[in-house]
Structure formats: structure tokens, C-alpha cells
Amino acid sequence: MNNREYQQIDPQALATPPPEHMPKRARRRWEVFPGKNRFCCDGRVMVARQGGVLPLTLALILITSGLFFVFDCPFLVEHLTSCIPAIGGVLFVFVIISLLQTSFTDPGILPRATPEEAADIEKQIDNPTGSSSSYRPPPRTKEVVINQQVVKLKYCFTCKIFRPPRTSHCSLCDNCVERFDHHCPWVGNCVGKRNYRFFYTFIVSLSFLTAFIFGCVTTHLALRSQGGNGLVFALQASPFSFTFSTALELVVCFFSVWSILGLSGFHTYLVAANLTTNEDIKGSWSGKSGNEDVGNPYSYNSIVKNCCSVLCGPMPPSLIDRRGFVPSDDSVQTSPVEIELPAAKNNRNMVGRAVTSGRPPPPPPPPVVTLQQPDISIQSHSTA
């Protein structure tokens, strides 16, 4: 009889695709963001890389308010009214919430041009009329008409875009910010189209809080000195903690209230005129730049309409989509995997084939199993 020999295929001999062919983890946009910003909480919170004096701002507010609630409120509640801590608490909450919203909100950053968009803009600049002339105009500007007034759009060499009206490039954050007002180191962020209302609420509520604490501390000292011994004796008879806290509150509030009140008044004027700090400093619409007949094309010629437009308009969406996924142009490519099975003993290949002993079998080609894997493409999904 013919003897047949078989060789069992080892399942472990079937190779798996190498790790480099496996799909990579999709990255979010904030991980590759080109600006000088820092992100926290998986891109939900963004601040400027140069945080400025934001920690100092928080410390001054928290320490001054804490000393007021601990040392002054109990005495004033006992001798005046219990509404004082309630009013102070409401103002304190407004200040903290508006400060955090100003610091951690996207101010209106414009996304940079992609390489294809930048190349197309460069072609338009090099050859604006489509002719074959090699002439290149020196100024990189465009002109648009807003309310029957010509406004120039400047080209940003960093972002590779023509800046929209009222947009400026912040050198500290390295971003083009829509309706750029200024970069405020006290809040550690730019102030622009999306967070200006929070900034205005912050400085107005902070001015009220500072004036309120200063008035309450002064009233506290006046009530303690009513015994006829004078203010100095009242301070000497008080504990050291009270004297120290009172002196600290008075110094901080006295030197802060004037600057904060002045800043609030200045921005109230800007809101009523629908101007930005950047435009007011440059004198874009006030005749300081040499154009005497130029008016503000963004003004509604009404204080109420300007205030509603700046502070009460709908919140524009963020254009950078920092939590969205980076689109992957390269699909995961896999090549056929060739697996050569081991040979049988005595150099006879017996994979699923019967070989008759005594008669030399024809030399078959080495068996090759080809595994073709389907292409795996990573689709980008944008999440808010």
C-alpha cells in the first residue's frame, strides 16, 4: 500500500501585520495648534503660553475678598445690616466667573491657511490679472467697501491670509484675532470678538467690588473710632490680625479702584462708539491717522445699538475647532503578506498533499499563502 505522510500547519506560523501597518491614534487639532497657546482638559480650556500676571490677579481678588468676608462682614452685619455680605458675595461671583471666561475662552482666533490655500493666494499676489507678466505689486493689501467706505485688508505673512476687517495679529499669542482689542496680561489672554463681553463684565464688576470693599472697610474703621478715642487707639486696641487685614485691604483697594474705574470708563466709551482699543490707539477712525473725513464704518450712529451689538449680540462660534480631529490624508496601506510554510522531513513538502513513497514526487513550488487585508481608512469626526 502507498504510505502517505501529512504535515499539520502550525497556526502560529500565520504572521500578523506588523505594528506600523496598524491604524494610528487620531490626533486632535489642539495637539498640533501652531499658535503660542496652552491647552488643558483635552482642549476645552485654552490660555496664552505667556500667562502674564493672571495668578497675581486671582490672588489679589481672592485674598482681598477673603479678608473682607472674615474680618469686616461680621462687624458690619452686627452694627448695620445683613445685606452687606450678600451684596459682596454676588459681586465676587460675577468677578470670578467673568475673569475665568475671559481667560479661558477663544478670543476669536482665525485658522491659518493650508499649504494649498497659501499657494493659491501667493499666485494671486504674484499675478493678480492672470497675465504672464512678472510684475509683482509691492503692497500686499486688498480693498473692500463697508458702509460706502473703503477699508484695507492687510496680508499676514505668518497666517498666510488676508486679515478680515478689524482683525490684527497678536505677537504674543502668534495668532490673528478677529475684532482684536488688545492683549491683556492681567487675564492672560487676548481680548477679541468672542470674549470682549466677558472682559467688559469683569472690569465693571471688579470696579464695583473694589469700591464696595473700600467703602465697607472705611465704614468699619469709622464705627470703631466712635468711642471718642480716635482711629489710632481703635487700631491699637484691636488684634494684630484685624489691623493687618484692614491695612492690606485699604492699600489694595485704594490703588486699584482708580485704575479700574478709569479702565471701565474708557471701555464704556469704546462700547458706546463701537470701537476697539487697537483702533482708538491707532486713530483709525478719529482723524489721528491723517484722514480727517474718515468716520467709523462699523458704528450704528446710536449708543444703544452699539452697546447691543457689542455686548448682546449672538456668540460667534469658534473657528479653530480645537477639539476636532486632524484629518488624515494617508489611509493605512497594507501590502500582501507572504508566509512560507515549513517543509516536511526528508525535504518533502507535504502540506495538504499526499505523496506516494517509492516514486519521487515532482518538485512542487514552495507553497505561499497570500493574505490580502482590506484597506483601513481613518475618517475624521469633528466633535464640539
Q: Could you list the active site residues?
A: 184
170 contact partners, CB below 8 Å, separation of at least 6: 176, 177, 180, 183, 190
Q: How many helices and strands, by DSSP H and E, does the chain display? A: 9, 11
Cα angle 34-40-45, degrees, rounded to a multiple of 5: 85
Name the residue with cell 463701537. Answer: 274
Would residue 283 be called left, alpha or beta, if left means φ above 0 and alpha means ψ between -120 and 50 degrees? left
CA distance 280 to 262: 16
The C-alpha atoms of residue 162 and residue 38 are separated, in whole angstroms, by 25
* Residue 290, CB-side half-sphere exposure with 13 Å CA sphere: 0
Query: In this structure, are strands 141-146 and 149-156 parallel, antiparallel, or unpaired?
Result: antiparallel
- Geometric angle at alpha carbon 91, from 250 and 61, rounded to 5°: 45
H/E element holding 45? Answer: strand 45-48
Query: How far separated are the first and last CA of the chain, in Å rounded?
Result: 75
Residue 183 neighbours by CB under 8 Å, 6+ apart: 48, 170, 172, 173, 189, 190, 191
Q: Which amino acid is at 93?
A: V
